[in-house]
């Protein structure tokens, strides 16, 4: 049981961080960013390039991923999403654009980083073993702790910084925020950059554990959407809750249901369908959006 909880918490921390970026972008711009998974993959490849190919420290790789994705996010928002949001009132326009960006990023990743699985050597060696009740490699513990610290830093930034408060105001009521003097286009771009940066950071963190490959983008996006559906789209606390709930469900399912074959995600999807029928706005979302 202890092992299941430890696995669930570790998975939950990384999932929550992935979901945070997605929900931030959704809350600010009402954009479902289907390219979020590809941004995560891109971040992983940037860290890989810096650490393995350039031989620089892992921390430098993480910073490079954060910076590269923040710049990419800002550029995508400014030159692609902002004009489309300005000109089109239809939600599907941004959805199609996001899907297009996802395909584009897949092609860019293939072109620059190739088709192979890549990985960064372990940043910490050794395995924590508590009497065979909890077995957890130290690098996973480190990545889990870093993920939690990043989540805390994000919450602090959103609650106590001027930019964070401006973005929260924007998420709550775009028109009211604009009337109060919030620079909508600036903070939309900042929010998108921050969301993309979070995706890049998780990619950079997890490349040491899971490695990274071209095909990880789509499934990562799907899991991220799953999390924000559970927690409530556009709500930061909901994304965190959704991440930890999905991580725990996965951990419990893979252990308890393993004897019946690979039905963990079948059970998760079935539960989600029932849950959404009862509470379509998710745990912490508002029914009116």
Partner 1 sequence: MHKRTFLKFSALAAATVLSIPLMAYAQNATLKIGFVGVTSGPAAAWGISNQRSMEARAAWLNELGGVKIGDKTYNIEIVAFDDQKDPKRAIAGMEKMAQDGIHYVVGPNVDDGAAAVRPVAEQNGIMYFPYSFPKALFTPPASNAILGMVANYQSGPAIYKYLMENKGVKKVAFVAANESDPLSQRESGIEAAQALGLEVVSGNVTYQVDTTDFTPVLLPVIQAAPDLLVLSGVSPANAPQLIRSARELGYTGLISTETAQDAAVLQEGAGDLADGFISVGGASTPELASDTMNEFVERYTKMFGEYNDESNTKVYALEYIIETLKANPAAIDNVEEYKKTMDTFEAPNPFMKGDAKLTYVGMTSFGQKRQVSVPLVVNEYKGGKFETLFVGQVD
Out of 9, 52, 141, 142, the only residue in the binding site for partner 1 (CB under 8 A) is 52
Q: Which stretch binds partner 1 (CB under 8 A): 2-10, 78-86, 166-174, 226-234?
A: 2-10
CA distances from 131 to 134, 136, 233 (A): 7, 12, 41
Residue from the set 172, 258, 270, 279 that interacts with partner 1 by CB under 8 A = 258
Asked if 224 and 22 touch (Cβ cutoff 8 Å), the reply is yes
Question: Pick from 116, 133, 186, 286: which binds partner 1 (CB under 8 A)?
Answer: 116
Q: Which two tokens stand for residue 193?
A: 């950059």
47 and 65 Cβ atoms separated by less than 8 Å: yes
Q: Is 84 exposed, middle or buried, given 0-12, 13-18 or 19+ CB atoms closer than 10 A? A: middle
Report in angstroms how near the CB of residue 135 gets to partner 1 at its nearest: 6
The binder of partner 1 chosen from 110, 124, 145, 276 (CB under 8 A): 110
Q: Does 100 bind partner 1 (CB under 8 A)?
A: no
- Encoded tokens for 114: 């190739």
Site string for partner 1, 133-152 (x = CB under 8 A): --xxx--x------------
The residue within the footprint of partner 1, chosen from 29, 31, 167, 206 (CB under 8 A), is 206
Q: How many C-beta atoms surround the C-beta of residue 104 within 10 A? A: 14
Cα→Cα distances 264→136, 244, 260, 274, Å: 22, 16, 9, 16
d(CA 3, CA 24): 32
Site string for partner 1, 219-238 (x = CB under 8 A): xx--x---------------
Quote the distance between the C-alpha of residue 87 and its chain's center.
Answer: 28
Q: Are 136 and 121 in contact (CB under 8 A)?
A: no
Using DSSP's 3-state secondary structure scheme, residue 129 falls into: strand
Closer CB to partner 1, 183 or 262, in the complex? 262
Name which position in 250, 282, 284, 285 contacts partner 1 (CB under 8 A): 250
Minimum CB distance to partner 1 smaller for 77 or for 106: 106
By CB under 8 A, residue 46 contacts partner 1: no
Instruction: Tell me which residues touch partner 1 (CB under 8 A).
Output: 3-4, 7, 10-11, 14, 48, 52, 106, 110, 114-122, 127, 129, 135-137, 140, 206, 209-211, 213-216, 218-220, 223, 250-251, 254-255, 258-259, 261-262, 264-265
């Amino acid at each position: 049981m202890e092992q299941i909880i430890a696995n669930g918490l570790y998975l939950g921390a990384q999932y929550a961080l992935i979901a945070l970026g997605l929900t931030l972008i959704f809350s600010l711009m009402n954009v479902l960013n289907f390219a979020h998974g590809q941004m995560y993959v891109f971040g992983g490849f940037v860290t890989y390039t810096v650490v393995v190919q350039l031989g620089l420290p892992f921390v430098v790789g993480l910073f490079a991923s954060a910076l590269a994705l923040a710049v990419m996010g800002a550029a995508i928002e400014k030159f692609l999403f902002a004009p489309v949001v300005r000109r089109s009132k239809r939600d599907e326009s941004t959805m199609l654009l996001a899907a297009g960006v996802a395909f584009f990023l897949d092609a860019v990743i293939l072109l620059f980083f190739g088709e192979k699985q890549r990985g960064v050597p372990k940043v910490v060696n050794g395995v924590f073993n508590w009497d065979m009740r909890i077995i957890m490699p130290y690098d996973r513990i480190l990545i889990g702790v870093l993920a939690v610290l990043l989540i805390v830093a994000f919450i602090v930034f959103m609650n106590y910084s001027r930019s964070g408060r401006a973005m929260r105001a924007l998420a709550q009521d775009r028109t009211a925020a604009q009337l109060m003097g919030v620079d909508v286009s600036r903070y939309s771009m900042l929010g998108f950059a921050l969301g993309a940066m979070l995706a890049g950071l998780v990619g950079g963190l997890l490349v040491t554990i899971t490695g990274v490959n071209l095909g990880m983008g789509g499934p990562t996006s799907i899991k991220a959407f799953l999390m924000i559906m559970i927690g409530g789209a556009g709500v930061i606390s909901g994304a965190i809750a959704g991440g930890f709930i999905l991580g725990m469900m996965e951990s419990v399912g893979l252990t308890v249901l393993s004897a019946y074959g690979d039905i963990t995600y079948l059970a998760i999807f079935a539960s989600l369908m029932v849950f959404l029928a009862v509470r379509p706005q998710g745990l912490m979302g508002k029914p009116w959006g």
